[in-house]
Chain A
Amino acid sequence: NAGVTQTPKFRILKIGQSMTLQCAQDMNHNYMYWYRQDPGMGLKLIYYSVGAGITDKGEVPNGYNVSRSTTEDFPLRLELAAPSQTSVYFCASSQTGIGEAFFGQGTRLTVV
């Protein structure tokens, strides 16, 4: 009964480093999303995918990349980390794209 699993839960990066945030879902959902949430703010969409092999930009894609080679996995890549990318990142999935979105537990990223 895992749902949406994100790893790692916490990470500290130095400016200029790169990393990949992992997201996996076991519900066979077609739609997957990456959001970031800054303190006191709502969720901003970074990238989304409507199925394996298909990805598209959201509201705040700069500095990030994604891939979707399988239905289950949707990793988010940060290249050349910047302090502005300090945030909590949530991965979510949805069966239909207009139905309920299920969230992972989040990754708290700090760039110093």
Chain B
Amino acid sequence: QKEVEQNSGPLSVPEGAIASLNCTYSDRGSQSFFWYRQYSGKSPELIMFIYSNGDKEDGRFTAQLNKASQYVSLLIRDSQPSDSATYLCAVSNTGNQFYFGTGTSLTVIP
């Protein structure tokens, strides 16, 4: 069973703060790592992807990957109320399948 684990939250941060979202995965053969944002009643949309160890920055978002620890995280700087959503961690393996965590609910308080 390939598992992707996330803290379900809810995570609440004040506007302007840094939100830190974490994810661990069990399959060492995983190749690609994704963070999706899902607003209530909507479909998931891609925020970030990362393939290599280290950090990847895109605007206010930074993805961090540590394959040795089987750990991937997402940092959201200068959090805005519009960032309030559920964040899904997804992992893709050599079998061309995507496995999703249960998601972390984030609320940014104005």
Q: Is B97 an interface residue (CB 8 A)?
A: yes
Q: How many A-B residue pairs have CB under 8 A?
A: 57
Segment 21-35 of A: residues with Cβ below 8 Å from B? 31, 33, 35
- Tell whether, in the assembled complex, residue A103 and residue B45 are in contact, meaning their CB atoms are under 8 Å apart: yes
* Dominant SS among interface residues on chain B: strand
Query: Number of B residues contacting the other chain (C-beta, 8 Å)?
Result: 23
- Tell whether, in the assembled complex, residue A43 and residue B100 are in contact, meaning their CB atoms are under 8 Å apart: yes
Segment 65-104 of A: residues with Cβ below 8 Å from B? 90, 92, 94, 97-104
Which residues from chain B sit less than 8 Å from chain A, CB to CB? Answer: 4, 6, 8, 31-32, 34, 42-46, 49, 88, 90, 92, 96-103
Which residues from chain A sit less than 8 Å from chain B, CB to CB? Answer: 31, 33, 35, 40-45, 48, 50, 58, 90, 92, 94, 97-106
